[in-house]
Amino acid sequence: MKVRKAVITAAGWGIRFLPITKSQRKEMLPLVDKPLIQYSVEEAVACGVELVIIVTAQGKGAIEDHFDRSFELEHFLERKGENKLAEEIRRLSNMVDICYVRPKERLGLGHAVLAAKRVVGEEPFVLLLPDDLFEGQEAVLRQMLEIYQRYQGNIIAVKRVSKEEINRYGIIEPRKVAEHVYQVINLVEKPQPEQAPSDLAIMGRYVLMPEIFEALESTLPGKNQEIQLTDALAQVLQKQAIYAYEFEGERYDAGTPLGWLEATIVLALGHPDIGPKLREYLGGLLQRITYPEEALPSGVISREGRKGLK
Ligand code: G1P
């Protein structure tokens, strides 16, 4: 069955990016010249998705405005002879049908996904966590959809992580079935490294069967008192197969200041207008400057201060 719908979760508080996320929505932080969430929407569209369902929360109206039509702006740009820019702005709002659902509480990722149940209905869908960005953009999700066609089960993206990083992710117990593909025997959310069944961590792309909703409805709060998608997937395992695709290439966690900076630099270096100049600038900068931590402006949350936030 063709996968026609994508769910993108944008309901979190952005705790790992405070204080900017106190009033600015994390999904609207710029990565070069687009907000973070636009990359996920474009990725879904590039993979053939026809309807995007964004799960939002209070105060996230800017996301809707971003993908909405702005006749005034288009008209203004055209009057100024900026036709190419006007066309780009129009493309943004015509890219795909988007609908928004807004759960009344924020009880975790699993709870946010469950909010999309009625709009998804009885069909498979892809789930994108917009913090996670991949080298080659849609290549990972495209590959997952191919694996889905072959295996007809739930598919999740995984990547090996270091021992120190294990307790930040959902971790799978794998059984290899093909090159880069594992059958999932079990999965556990953010275990301590000693209890982890492997070092293969779930990264934010999923192809899910509609049965996940039934499992989510009976999932009790788990790690961090949140309703965890990983716990619901563990329930699904009793009835359905789950496969994991170990992708190659980098993945960036743009939901943290460091990951966001890395993604920004990589994307900017690849940008046709900005890239060459930035490369030259960075080369010179690295030779000239080494910042001791004391030189940071006051108010910057140190790495120590952020520990334990994920
Ligand atoms: C979520 C999932 C986790 C997954 C991670 C990937 O965690 O619960 O299983 O490994 O995304 O980024 P979160 O980042 O919301 O804490």
In angstroms, the CA 140 to CA 180 distance is 12
- Whether residue 309 has pLDDT greater than 50: no
Exposed e or buried b per residue across 109-141, where buried means at least 16 C-beta atoms within 10 angstroms of its C-beta: bbbbbbbbbeebeeebbbbbbbbbbbeeebbbb
Per-residue pLDDT tens digits for 28-37: 999 999 999 9
Identify the band that residue 230 occupies on the pLDDT scale cut at 50, 70 and 90.
Answer: very high
Tell me which amino acid residue 118 is: R
Tokens found for residue 292:
């001791």
Per-residue pLDDT tens digits for 80-96: 999 999 999 999 999 99
Please give the distance, rounded to the nearest whole angstrom, from the Cα atom of residue 210 to the centre of ligand 1: 20
Please give the distance, rounded to the nearest whole angstrom, from the Cα atom of residue 171 to the centre of ligand 1: 10
When pLDDT is averaged across residues 256-278 and rounded to a whole number, the result is 95
Per-residue pLDDT tens digits for 128-162: 999 999 988 889 999 999 999 999 999 999 999 99
Q: Per this entry, what is the length of the chain?
A: 310
Nearest-CA residue for atom 15 of ligand 1: 109
When pLDDT is averaged across residues 101-120 and rounded to a whole number, the result is 96
Counting from 1 in the atom list of ligand 1, the atom nearest the Cα of 131 is 12
Per-residue pLDDT tens digits for 272-300: 999 999 999 998 888 877 766 555 666 55
CB of 231 within 6 A of ligand 1: the answer is: no
Please give the distance, rounded to the nearest whole angstrom, from the Cα atom of residue 140 to the centre of ligand 1: 17
CB of 189 within 6 A of ligand 1: the answer is: yes
